[in-house]
Amino acid sequence: MMATGNTRSGGFLVLCAVIVTCSADPGHRQLFIQVNPGSNSTPPLGDLLHVRAVGDNDTLHFLFCSQGAPTLLFVHTNSSSSNVQVNWTQFLAPNTSGSLKVEPESSVLYSSAIVFSRLLEYDDVNNTAEPTSEFFPPYDLQNFTWNRLNLSGHTALLCGADASFTNGSLCLQLSVFDSEGRSQSLPHLLHSVNSSQLELRLDGVPARAAQSRFLLELQAVGGDYPLSRMEVHESIDDEYTPSIFKVSRWVSSVNGSSDVLGFAQWKPVAYRHDCPALEDATPCRHSAPRAQSGAAVMAASGLIRGFFSDPESVALNVSFGLAGEPFYNSTHFLSWTLLVGVGSPPVDFFSPLVVAIMAVGLGTPLILILVGGVWVCVHKRRAAASYEPIN
């Protein structure tokens, strides 16, 4: 009896902690969005998007560019008035670095970038989903023809194609956020004000074999601390991404400490339809991060060349589909979503629905005990009172 009581009040304390944690102020940022800042003509090769996300005492700059391989650069400063300066003459030249600066330079706390470098395709003849030797020549994303950015609200859509794609396209949709929340479509990733979301869509790409599967090569680039360590965490199975129990986290930290400076985070799942339903899910996997040549990534991306002078680069492959899963050919569509940001990545917690169920499950017995206790007390008093005259 005592043990049960302790467990229940313990549960109640946990519940209180849950509610307090959930209601902590997640912060706000004011967003300023600009295309090709400081340029008086549209650049010939690709647009540069600049999002200034201004907090109380800091600014987070997101820069997204398709001069070469599509690149998202994020820079955290400790000033709410820091800004980006671009020397466009230099920025458009293929052989200069240092043309894009975040000023004042002393305010920069952290910077890192993700480059979408290559799309790889292999013929999975035995349906093992083990990428072996059957690779087709890779698509180099730096050689794609990229359309102009399509900006609407807090999202920017960049689509491009290889010359061989006929009607197919590879699109990247960047979303930036002024408050905490969760994306509308699967996998409903949770975001904070310190992150932005990128969704990759491979739509109608002509498969070079009936049993083709795809891989995406990502490069993380940083001056001192690029994303380097891969972590896979257990995640809760909630109503947002049902049946996905893991979250993959690619983090940057100082000398292996547990403090995270920057991150890319995703659920290991892709979807085979636009506007996906649960049954369109297909698992994805990642390879171990490997150090790459900084010079190669500078050559591939104009934004990396403009911002970093001596970058370090780490790369990994994300592969879509497992043995026995339908091939790309089945729908000619794949989408995959990742979250990129600074500081600690947002962690899924029990949803309000689950919290409500817990509250009912734990709270009701507690209320019954309390009501029961009060009733017993009152009853005893009454009993005592009614005995008095007999004295």
Ligand X SMILES: *[C@@H]1O[C@H](CO)[C@@H](O)[C@H](O)[C@H]1NC(C)=O
Binding site residues, ligand X, CB under 6 A:
26-27, 56-58, 78, 87, 89-90, 93, 95-96, 106-107, 120, 125-126, 131-132, 134-135, 140, 142-143, 150, 152, 157, 166-167, 192-194, 207, 209-210, 215, 217, 254-255, 287, 290, 315-317, 329, 343
Q: Smallest distance from the beta carbon of 264 to ligand X, in angstroms?
A: 14
AA letter at 219: Q
The smaller minimum CB distance to ligand X, of residues 180 and 238, is found at 180
The smaller minimum CB distance to ligand X, of residues 7 and 330, is found at 330
97: which residues sit within 8 A by CB, 6+ positions away? 298, 305, 306, 308, 309
69: which residues sit within 8 A by CB, 6+ positions away? 115, 116, 117, 140, 141, 142, 300, 301
* Residue 380, Cβ density class (10 Å: 0-12 exposed, 13-18 middle, ≥19 buried): exposed
The smaller minimum CB distance to ligand X, of residues 95 and 386, is found at 95
Query: Across the strands, what pairs with 170?
Result: 160, 202
Q: Smallest distance from the beta carbon of 89 to ligand X, in angstroms?
A: 4
Tokens of 2: 């005592």
Tell me if 119 sits within 8 A of 330, measured CB to CB.
Answer: no
Q: Smallest distance from the beta carbon of 9 to ligand X, in angstroms?
A: 31
Q: Smallest distance from the beta carbon of 84 to ligand X, in angstroms?
A: 14
The smaller minimum CB distance to ligand X, of residues 183 and 287, is found at 287
- What is the spatial distance between Cα 49 and Cα 65, in angstroms, rounded to a whole number? 6
Q: Smallest distance from the beta carbon of 137 to ligand X, in angstroms?
A: 6
The smaller minimum CB distance to ligand X, of residues 120 and 369, is found at 120
The smaller minimum CB distance to ligand X, of residues 276 and 345, is found at 345
AA letter at 178: D
Q: Smallest distance from the beta carbon of 100 to ligand X, in angstroms?
A: 11
The smaller minimum CB distance to ligand X, of residues 25 and 234, is found at 25
Q: Smallest distance from the beta carbon of 157 to ligand X, in angstroms?
A: 6
What b/e readout covers 231-261, taking b as 16+ CB neighbours within 10 angstroms? eeeebeeeebbeebeebbbbbbbeeeeeebb
Q: Smallest distance from the beta carbon of 239 to ligand X, in angstroms?
A: 22
Output the CA–CA distances (angstroms, integers) from residue 314 to 180, 218, 287, 294, 309, in the order listed.
Answer: 29, 8, 12, 9, 16
Tell me if 181 sits within 8 A of 197, measured CB to CB.
Answer: no
Tell me if 81 sits within 8 A of 106, measured CB to CB.
Answer: no
